């Protein structure tokens, strides 16, 4: 189950001091026992959407993050060159998927709870709200589960993005469609009215137009939408060959289900966020043929070897290690890219602390700005220009499709061609 069970984070009010010694070594009574084995506890603050519309993805993201944290802490923490061991502690609250609450709670994290570093909530909207607080209080924040480009164009200086930005989310799908069927010309975009999806479809739309596609429908829906009837009627009326869009998990899966119920004929159907989630399989028939962009897939092969080939530094565990550790930790729950995103946010921070050889925020920030490495999750590199400081420029997407195979319904990587595990099912059944 994907419940919010295992990640029950540290209680709210116990984050008394960030640099207090912890009792990991038996050095509390006698100073001279092991004077050099100093331990620093770093407080990491973030919120979780334990309730509200972002619940599914958010919980997975936090699961990933907690897995990283437990792994580091179990290994005795990060060791700095002066022998200091850095361990981590999480302080978190439920943001109810609500921007107001996010600002309130991040303020609390930054001040009352004295968090040293922040991780973003899930979703671009919530993250934009929390980024403002991070900047106001000068806290370094790694964002994950938040792809919108806009946030990074507001003059932020302390916020770093782990995800491929929204503007590059669906462009690959257009390329895929072009490679599948050059005769297709009519596209419909139906998307959620949120920061993230709007950024995505606007970039994809101009990309498609530049490739000569005709956009027959371009319309947004409100995040709470449960009835896609009006859109489906419009889609039927405008007769596109392909539908692109969606938003987050809930609306996306509902859209797919209702499209299927109404027996609408399209050849190609790409949705944001929802398809890569393992739970998407619950849709059964309605899932077959649906394509989705993914930040990370277990099948995608980023390895120390590929790092070497690309001339990049490798850091952290491999995908296989991640998947098996995750499944062991969370009762066999299969990790989604949100889980990987949560993990990698921690990993980035860990690497930055190592590179900085310090937990001083300014040094960590400098290390982040200089970062350029390959992990199981892919390439990580941040924009350092003033216009888009912190924007992810290293990482890119893969595309999956649900296919009915011998072993039942399964996700296959279909794009880019280099990493594909199966041919695209085209046109959709």
Partner 1 sequence: MSGWRKYTGLIVTLLIVLLLTFWPLITGKDITRETIFTILLSVALASSLNILLGYTGYVSFGHVVFFGLGGYVGFYLLSVQGWSLWIAMLAGGAASAILAFLLGKAILRLRGGYFALATIGVNEAMRAFINNFEPFGGPVGMTLNFQVYRDYGGPAQALWLSFYMLAALTIIVVIISYSVRMSKFGLGLLAIREDEDAAEVMGVIAPNVKTWAYVLSAIIPGILGVIFFFKNGNIEPAPAFRLHFSIEMIVMVMLGGQGTVLGPVLGGMGYQSLRGYLLTSPLFKNIQLAVAGALLLIIVLFVPAGVVGWLRQRFPALRRVLQ
Partner 2 sequence: MDFLLASVIDGLLLGFVYGIAAMGLTLIWGVMNVINLAHGPIIALGMFSLYFIFSLLGLNPYLALILVAVLGLLLGILIYFVAVHRVIDAPHLSTLLATFSVNMIIIGLGTAAFTASPRNVEFSLGSFTVGSITLLGTRLVAAVLALAVTGGLYLFLYRTRPGRYIRAVANNRDAAELMGVPSAQILALSFGLGTMLAAISGGLIATFFPFTILAGGVYELKSFVIGVLGGLGNPVGALFGGLILGVLEGIIPTFMPTTWVPVLEFGLFVLILLVRPQGLFGARK
**DSSP annotation of 279:** G
Which residue in the set 229, 321, 327, 360 belongs to the binding site for partner 2 (CB under 8 A)? 229
Which residue in the set 231, 296, 322, 337 belongs to the binding site for partner 2 (CB under 8 A)? 231
- Window contacting partner 1 (CB under 8 A); options: 70-78, 93-101, 167-175, 307-315: 93-101
Helices (H), ranges, 111-180: 124-136, 171-180
Q: Which does 108 bind (CB under 5 to 8 A by kind): partner 1, partner 2, none?
A: partner 1
Whole-number minimum distance, CB 52 to partner 1, in Å? 12
Binding-residue pattern over the window 48 to 77 for partner 2, x denoting contact by CB under 8 A: -xxxxx-xx---------------------
Alpha-carbon gap, residue 131 to 151, rounded angstroms: 8
Binding residues for partner 1, total number by CB under 8 A? 36
Q: Which is nearer to partner 2, 3 or 83 (CB)?
A: 3
Give me the residue label for tokens 């498609």.
Answer: 208
Q: Which is nearer to partner 2, 59 or 86 (CB)?
A: 59
Question: Is the Cβ–Cβ distance between 158 and 134 less than 8 Å?
Answer: yes
**Phi and psi at residue 392, to the nearest 5°:** -75, 125
Whole-number minimum distance, CB 193 to partner 1, in Å? 3
- Window contacting partner 2 (CB under 8 A); options: 152-160, 258-266, 308-316, 376-384: 258-266
Encoded tokens for 367 = 């290390």
Alpha-carbon gap, residue 168 to 191, rounded angstroms: 16
- For the segment 178-207, give every residue that binds partner 2 (CB under 8 A): 193
Question: Is the Cβ–Cβ distance between 280 and 85 less than 8 Å?
Answer: no
Q: Which does 81 bind (CB under 5 to 8 A by kind): partner 2, partner 1, none?
A: none
Give me the residue label for tokens 């590059």.
Answer: 168
Whole-number minimum distance, CB 91 to partner 1, in Å? 10
Helices (H), ranges, 211-336: 229-238, 249-261, 304-310, 319-329
- Window contacting partner 2 (CB under 8 A); options: 16-24, 216-224, 392-400, 402-410: 216-224
Query: Is 11 among the residues that bind partner 1 (CB under 8 A)?
Result: yes
- Window contacting partner 1 (CB under 8 A); options: 37-45, 95-103, 307-315, 405-413: 95-103
- For the segment 27-56, give every residue that binds partner 1 (CB under 8 A): 50
Query: Is 3 among the residues that bind partner 2 (CB under 8 A)?
Result: yes
Q: Which does 267 bind (CB under 5 to 8 A by kind): partner 1, partner 2, none?
A: none
Query: Is 426 among the residues that bind partner 2 (CB under 8 A)?
Result: no
Q: Which does 263 bind (CB under 5 to 8 A by kind): partner 1, partner 2, none?
A: partner 2
Q: What DSSP letter does each residue of 404-415 carry, written as one string?
A: EETTEEEEEEEE
Residue 20: CB atoms within 10 Å: 10
**Phi and psi at residue 223, to the nearest 5°:** -55, -35
- For the segment 102-161, give every residue that binds partner 1 (CB under 8 A): 103-104, 107-108, 110-112, 125, 128-129, 132, 135-138, 150-151, 154-157
Alpha-carbon gap, residue 124 to 400, rounded angstroms: 22
Alpha-carbon gap, residue 426 to 410, rounded angstroms: 16
Q: Which is nearer to partner 2, 255 or 326 (CB)?
A: 255
Alpha-carbon gap, residue 371 to 369, rounded angstroms: 6
Q: Which is nearer to partner 1, 16 or 263 (CB)?
A: 16
Question: Is the Cβ–Cβ distance between 42 and 89 less than 8 Å?
Answer: yes
- For the segment 187-206, give every residue that binds partner 1 (CB under 8 A): 193-195, 198
Give me the residue label for tokens 């003059």.
Answer: 155
CA 319 remoteness from chain centre: 15
Question: Is the Cβ–Cβ distance between 428 and 268 less than 8 Å?
Answer: yes
Alpha-carbon gap, residue 190 to 201, rounded angstroms: 9
Q: Sheet containing 313-314: give its strands across.
A: 313-314, 372-375, 378-381
Which residue in the set 263, 332, 386, 387 belongs to the binding site for partner 2 (CB under 8 A)? 263
Give me the residues that bind partner 1 (CB under 8 A), please: 11-13, 50, 93-94, 98-100, 103-104, 107-108, 110-112, 125, 128-129, 132, 135-138, 150-151, 154-157, 193-195, 198, 220, 222
């Amino acid at each position: 189950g994907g419940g919010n069970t295992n990640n029950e984070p540290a209680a709210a009010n116990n984050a008394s001091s960030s640099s207090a010694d912890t009792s990991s070594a038996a050095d509390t009574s006698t100073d001279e026992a092991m004077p050099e084995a100093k331990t620093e506890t770093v407080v990491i603050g973030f919120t979780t959407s334990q309730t509200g519309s972002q619940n599914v993805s958010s919980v997975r993201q936090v699961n990933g993050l907690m897995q990283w944290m437990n792994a580091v802490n179990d290994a005795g923490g990060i060791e700095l060159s002066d022998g200091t061991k850095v361990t981590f502690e999480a302080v978190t609250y439920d943001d109810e998927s609500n921007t107001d609450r996010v600002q309130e709670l991040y303020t609390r994290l930054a001040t009352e709870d004295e968090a040293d570093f922040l991780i973003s909530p899930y979703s671009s909207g919530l993250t934009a709200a929390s980024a403002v607080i991070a900047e106001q209080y000068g806290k370094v924040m790694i964002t994950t589960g938040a792809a919108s480009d806009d946030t990074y164009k507001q003059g932020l200086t302390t916020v770093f993005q782990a995800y491929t930005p929204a503007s590059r989310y669906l462009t690959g799908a257009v390329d895929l469609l072009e490679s599948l069927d050059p005769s297709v010309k009519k596209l419909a975009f139906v998307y959620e009215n949120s920061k993230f999806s709007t950024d995505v479809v606007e970039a994809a739309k101009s990309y498609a137009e530049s490739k000569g596609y005709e956009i027959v429908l371009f319309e947004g829906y409100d995040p709470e939408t449960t009835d896609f009837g009006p859109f489906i009627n419009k889609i039927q009326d405008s007769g596109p060959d392909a539908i692109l869009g969606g938003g987050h998990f809930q609306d996306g899966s509902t859209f797919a289900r209702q499209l299927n119920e109404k027996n609408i004929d399209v050849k190609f159907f790409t949705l944001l966020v929802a398809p890569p989630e393992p739970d998407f399989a619950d849709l059964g028939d309605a899932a077959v043929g649906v394509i989705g962009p993914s930040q990370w897939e277990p099948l995608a092969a980023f390895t120390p070897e590929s790092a070497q080939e690309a001339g990049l530094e490798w850091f952290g565990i491999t995908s296989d290690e991640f998947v098996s550790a995750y499944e062991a930790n969370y009762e066999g729950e299969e990790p989604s890219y949100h889980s990987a995103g949560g993990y990698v946010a921690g990993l980035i921070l860990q690497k930055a602390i190592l590179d900085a050889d310090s937990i001083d925020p300014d040094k960590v920030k400098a290390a982040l700005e200089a970062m350029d490495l390959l992990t199981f999750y892919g390439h990580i590199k941040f924009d350092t220009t003033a216009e888009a400081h912190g924007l992810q420029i290293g990482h890119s997407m893969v595309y999956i499709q649900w296919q009915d195979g011998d072993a039942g319904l399964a996700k296959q990587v279909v794009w880019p061609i280099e990493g594909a595990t199966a041919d695209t099912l085209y046109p959709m059944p």
